[in-house]
Every structure is written in C-alpha cells, then in structure tokens.
A and B are shown apart, each in its own frame.
Chain A
Amino acid sequence: MNIFRFAGDMTHLISILVLLLKVYATKSCSGISLKTQELYGIVFLARYLDLFTDFISVYNTVMKLVFIGSSLAIVWCMRFHRVVKRSYDRDVDTFRHYFLVGGCFLLALFVHEKFSFREVFWAFSIYLEAVAILPQLILLQRSGNVDNLTGQYVLFLGAYRGFYILNWIYRYFTEDQFSRWISCVSGLVQTALYADFFYYYFISWKNNAKLKLPA
C-alpha cells in the first residue's frame, strides 16, 4: 500500500458517500444515471470474485464489501425505492450501456493476463470501469445544469483513478517485477474521459458559477 493508492481508495469512498448522501438526504436521484450505477455494480461483482477465496487484508475485504454493497444499494434504490425511483428520468438516461458490457467482455476474452475464468472477469471489470461513466457524462450533458452533490460525485469518481495512475508510476519505480499494463492503459483512458468534465468543473469553480456542461 502506498499513499497514492490510499488517497485513491479514500477519494473513491468519498464519491460513494457523496452519492449516498445525495440519494438519502434529498430522496432524489435526479441527474444520476442508473445505467452507470448498474455498470459499476457489474464492475465490482466481476472484479471481486476472489472476495471469499483470496484474503489480502481486512482493509481490502472491507472496502470490497463497501463497494459492492453501495453500488447494489444505489441500483436498488433507483429501481425500487418508492420515493427515489420517481425522480429517475429514464428519458435522459438513454445510453445503450449493454453494448459497453458486450464490447468489454469480448475485449477481455482476447486481452487478459491469463486465460482463466477469474482473470478474464478481472480484465472485463477493468475495461468496463473505464467506460462505465459514459452514461453519466452523457446524461449530465443532456440535463444541462448539474446539482452540487452530483458534480462532486463525478469529480471524486474521476479523481480516484488519477491517484491510481500515480500509484502505478510509484510501484513501477519501487517494485521490480511490477507490470500492470491492463490497469494502467484502462486507467489512463478512464481518467481521460473525465478531462472535459474536470475542465468545466474548474471553470465553474473559478467563476463561482453553476456547473454547466455544453450540450
């Protein structure tokens, strides 16, 4: 564990807490893409298949349970909670995310570290996480104005993988046989997808204006 990875995990945790706060405090999921939340649920379930077979540390196990639990809880809320689901606008959340699932799984079948059930699903989860934010970003562009909590949720979610890139650089220079090129390349793509959001977020913060993404 290094400071960059810990900062990344904490930033990821904060993004989840901000999202839970928004949904539970405002009893509304306006501006949140259910499809992105479903994709993240698939990402965590596919990545943490070793949850009960490989014990790394208490921290690792606890965080995995938090990530799986929170993503499934949000999906459940947006689908079945009688108050929250009313604020879900499926007319703006129209990204066909099943293509992302199919495409990433196909890619994982061809590009993986080892052709085993767990490694293919692990690579699949890494590729899928890189593009999972797309429905959310498209929705924000469609819905124009972004409420503060939703903006902060996306900001922290984008920042966490940026910290992981620093972690991979650090591990590359400090550990000899470190080679996580699947994570690195996907992590770079993932963070790059947030680039324009970060730009407009910074502009709105600088001008102390409401965050607006150009359609």
Chain B
Amino acid sequence: NVETEAHDEL
C-alpha cells in the first residue's frame, strides 16, 4: 500500500 508520506510542506 502506498504509505502516505508525511506532508513535508507547511
């Protein structure tokens, strides 16, 4: 499953 990468943008 596609691990939702942590949102690195503010």
Contacts and interface: CB of A to CB of B under 8 A. Distances in A.
A116 interface: yes
B8 to A, nearest CB: 5
7 contacts: A9-B10, A47-B7, A50-B7, A60-B10, A67-B10, A119-B4, A183-B9
Nearest to A66: B10
A113 interface: yes
Contacts, number: 24
B10 to A, nearest CB: 5
A122 to B, nearest CB: 6
B10 A64 contact: yes
Main secondary structure of the interface of A (DSSP, over half): helix
Interface string A51-70: 00010100010011001000
Contact of B8 (A47, A56, A116, A119): A56
Contacts of B2: 114
A56 B6 contact: yes
Main secondary structure of the interface of B (DSSP, over half): loop
Nearest to B7: A122
A35 interface: no
A114 B10 contact: no
B4 A116 contact: yes
Nearest to A167: B9
B4 to A, nearest CB: 5
Contacts of A67: 10
Nearest to A1: B8
A128 to B, nearest CB: 15
Nearest to B3: A114
Contacts of A60: 8, 10
A113 B9 CA distance: 15
